[in-house]
Chain A
């Protein structure tokens, strides 16, 4: 149930990382409304299927347009929407299963096109909505409902992949850091090109990694998450790849390339070169 719609009955579990992501996204969108005077209806949130997909219904405050599509296909839907109207601020919200499992094939072409949208990936390392199956970011050997004797696939490394594919804005954050998340989301939305905000958003039900990420001094757990050093040059791809190759979860912007033209700019450039043809003139060209 949301304050705007009593009929809607979906709930995230108590403590779900996605609550924090939602708060950060609401903040980033209202910042656009207030600071940039972008009307809320100029934002479009496109979701696939999974716990993350319900973000489009759960947002409070300013209401953007939403698209709750099919599993894994939010990127091409986003491409259509953005190309249909390049003035829109198009944001994809997806989980690790939606984005890195069934939807993986769509990342590479959008990176090559430098589609000017932002993808917010909520990574909990598990399929939550279908109750705990292994996902591409589940650890090798992990026991889940679908890997009762241990996962036999290596864990996918999203950051190295994003960088290798040529994603022009790669960032990493976690769901308990609402302020950092919303700042990075705003930067990603402002970025001219394909931006990914990859968020560790633990699943309290099937894969609770809060403690692993943040650490626990009392239990002697060091914590995987660490801030990217302030002197990191995010224009330096090799430096970004070094960070991505290290152990642990870096927090901050790994890589940012603002020099490449976006897909809409590329298409505009082509369109300017050709003279628009009318149907009448085309018909004439086939005259006998």
Chain B
């Protein structure tokens, strides 16, 4: 039987081509119709330090980066020692014999990555040597990689042909080394190309494209891992008539300047990570209070403080919901896949413009860096929304009443004071109790306009259900299916609209005996949010800086379901 799934990890040091190998291998295989997904993790430094990336290739759509390694490519001895325990039985290690020797390890073979590359006349082709060897191990035709090389290096430069030839030579050298080793992983089944056009993008790009599809006018951001690529995307792609992107001097400047732009009528967004998001707290409160539509993206990393800047964690949910002081609650959309990052990008704008206030998008490091093939988003299905604009004469009471009202735009009649202090109908500061009651109710009642979030569910009759959020969706869904196949009576719920939750979903969750929430944090943040809304929720936590492995997660769910069932029998 042919393999339908292949997982390879590249481990070494920053600057050795670990990332380009993973991305290149993914791109090449995506071109012939395999499903691909990459994962990368690295220390917060430019050169050196342990880096590893992983590429998974499959004939089926991919949900997570893969539990066990078919092949480990070790660029140095440290990498081998760190990762050897994750190689599956029958898996193979390719090590760089130019750097170290691995003696007495049966399932391994060495080749000198750099020396082989240099022998082609192109010292930069070491990753091609590796890719050639990999293709041989899973019997993927080398022509697939050759096509990829030709496409990538046809750049209209005089030496294109030379570079293409040396890279192809490098592929061949790698293949010969693998052939001589005598190892095979087993043939990879032919690709089943997905129907419809596909794009290969990561979560940060998907989110940025979603924002552009919604009609973003202004982007202001400050560099911070792992959100910097959104700033770079916007700087490169947003400028045009009436549209601009700008690098600020701090996250405080980012949030307050997009508030100013949104006040002036623009669709505006910023993106940051935990530390920057914390700095934005007061500004987000201002947008809530003054009723200014803005989108704030938090690409979560490990926290608190500087924490783990280049690792993945889902520990910003509580701060996303309550980023500032006082009575306020953010609408929060937390995409769980690259595809959903695109959706979150435009839904966040729809929500912000609709209820005239700030909306938080919670992405994650693992999504931001994940390159994956997804169906090309259908732009005709993006329902972009614009705010309700006041078109009357001067003398308008902008904040009058208990619910949403049209927003005047400076330059047009309808002058008012956008105010972060408690205010009356025209926006003047007030301390009257009746006003504070009216305005507080007004601000919270607007959240009802956002109860159109969708959700997924399976086996809804079960009394114990699984409900991961964000990037844990993929591993969660695979674990759910594994358990369902075993006959475990478990239900499945998922939504990216965490606040406000779709009302019908909340209603269903409240009828369950136990809602298990896998999440990557210590506190069990989403479980506690659900409990505060009357759901019997319990978290399954992990805080390693890495995503859940399907097998480990399934085992923890299985154990917990078992205990619960025993308890209910005893009762």
B420 within 8 A of A: yes
B262 within 8 A of A: yes
A237 within 8 A of B: no
Q: Which of chain A's residues 118-156 have a Cβ closer than 8 Å to chain B? A: none
B283 within 8 A of A: yes
Q: Is the CB of A69 within 8 A of B256?
A: yes
Q: Is the CB of A81 within 8 A of B413?
A: no
Please indicate the chain A residues that have their CB under 8 angstroms from the CB of B249 in the complex: 105-106, 108-109
Q: Is the CB of A57 within 8 A of B263?
A: no
Chain A interface size band reads 35 or more
A78 within 8 A of B: yes
Please indicate the chain A residues that have their CB under 8 angstroms from the CB of B416 in the complex: 65-66
Q: Is the CB of B413 within 8 A of A41?
A: yes
Query: A80 to nearest B CB, angstroms?
Result: 2
Q: Which of B217, B253, B415 contacts A76 (CB 8 A)?
A: B253
Q: Which of chain B's residues 396-434 have a Cβ closer than 8 Å to chain A? A: 408, 410-421, 423-424, 426-432
Q: Which applies to chain B's interface (DSSP): helix, strand, loop or mixed?
A: mixed
- Sample of 4 more A-B contacts, CB < 8 Å, known A7-B428, A44-B264, A288-B30: A66-B419, A70-B420, A73-B252, A77-B256
CA distance A152 to B285 in the complex (A): 34
B376 within 8 A of A: yes
A93 within 8 A of B: no
A34 within 8 A of B: no
The chain A residue with its CB closest to the CB of B210 is A279
Q: Which of A8, A10, A79 contacts B260 (CB 8 A)?
A: A79
A230 within 8 A of B: no
B243 within 8 A of A: yes
Q: Is the CB of A65 within 8 A of B256?
A: no
Q: Which of chain A's residues 263-281 have a Cβ closer than 8 Å to chain B? A: 267, 270-271, 274, 276-277, 279-280
Given A77-B256, A283-B199, are A5 and B428 neighbors across the interface (CB < 8 Å)? Answer: yes
Query: B254 to nearest A CB, angstroms?
Result: 8
Given A41-B410, A276-B240, are A5 and B265 neighbors across the interface (CB < 8 Å)? Answer: no
A241 within 8 A of B: no
Q: Which of B240, B283, B427 contacts A70 (CB 8 A)?
A: B283
Q: Is the CB of B243 within 8 A of A276?
A: yes
B225 within 8 A of A: no
The chain A residue with its CB closest to the CB of B418 is A67
Q: Which of chain A's residues 60-103 have a Cβ closer than 8 Å to chain B? A: 63-70, 73, 76-85, 87-88
A180 within 8 A of B: no
Q: Is the CB of B240 within 8 A of A76?
A: no
Given A76-B252, A80-B268, A83-B244, are A69 and B286 neighbors across the interface (CB < 8 Å)? Answer: yes
A9 within 8 A of B: yes
Query: A42 to nearest B CB, angstroms?
Result: 5
Q: Is the CB of B201 within 8 A of A286?
A: yes
Q: Is the CB of A80 within 8 A of B264?
A: yes
CA distance A39 to B408 in the complex (A): 15
Q: Is the CB of B239 within 8 A of A66?
A: no
CA distance A80 to B217 in the complex (A): 11
- Binary CB contact string for chain A from 1 to 39 against chain B (1 if under 8 A, 0 otherwise): 010010111100000000000000000000000000001
By Cβ-Cβ distance, the 10 closest A-B pairs, closest first, are: A80-B260, A276-B240, A84-B264, A66-B417, A84-B261, A80-B261, A80-B257, A81-B260, A76-B256, A77-B260
Chain A interfacial positions (CB closer than 8 Å to B) = 2, 5, 7-10, 39-42, 44, 46, 54, 56-57, 63-70, 73, 76-85, 87-88, 105-106, 108-109, 267, 270-271, 274, 276-277, 279-280, 282-283, 286-288
Please indicate the chain B residues that have their CB under 8 angstroms from the CB of A41 in the complex: 394, 410-415
Chain B interfacial positions (CB closer than 8 Å to A) = 30-31, 197-201, 205, 209, 212-213, 217-218, 220, 237, 239-241, 243-244, 246, 248-250, 252-253, 256-266, 268, 282-283, 285-286, 290, 373, 376-377, 379, 394, 408, 410-421, 423-424, 426-432, 435
Q: Is the CB of A67 within 8 A of B263?
A: yes
CA distance A56 to B421 in the complex (A): 12
CA distance A77 to B419 in the complex (A): 12
Query: A74 to nearest B CB, angstroms?
Result: 8
Q: List 24 A-B contacts (CB under 8 A).
A: A8-B424, A10-B429, A41-B415, A44-B410, A65-B417, A66-B418, A66-B427, A67-B417, A67-B418, A67-B419, A68-B418, A76-B248, A76-B252, A76-B257, A77-B260, A80-B218, A81-B261, A83-B246, A84-B217, A84-B218, A84-B263, A108-B249, A288-B30, A288-B373
Please indicate the chain B residues that have their CB under 8 angstroms from the CB of A277 in the complex: 237, 240
Q: Is the CB of B253 within 8 A of A282?
A: no
Please indicate the chain B residues that have their CB under 8 angstroms from the CB of A69 in the complex: 256, 259, 286, 290, 418, 420
CA distance A270 to B212 in the complex (A): 19
Q: Which of A7, A68, A83, A85 contacts B420 (CB 8 A)?
A: A68
Query: B82 to nearest A CB, angstroms?
Result: 32
Please indicate the chain A residues that have their CB under 8 angstroms from the CB of B256 in the complex: 69-70, 73, 76-77, 80
CA distance A214 to B114 in the complex (A): 79
The chain A residue with its CB closest to the CB of B250 is A105
Most buried by A among B201, B205, B408, B418: B418
Q: Is the CB of A80 within 8 A of B263?
A: yes
Q: Is the CB of B199 within 8 A of A286?
A: yes
Please indicate the chain A residues that have their CB under 8 angstroms from the CB of B394 in the complex: 40-41, 63
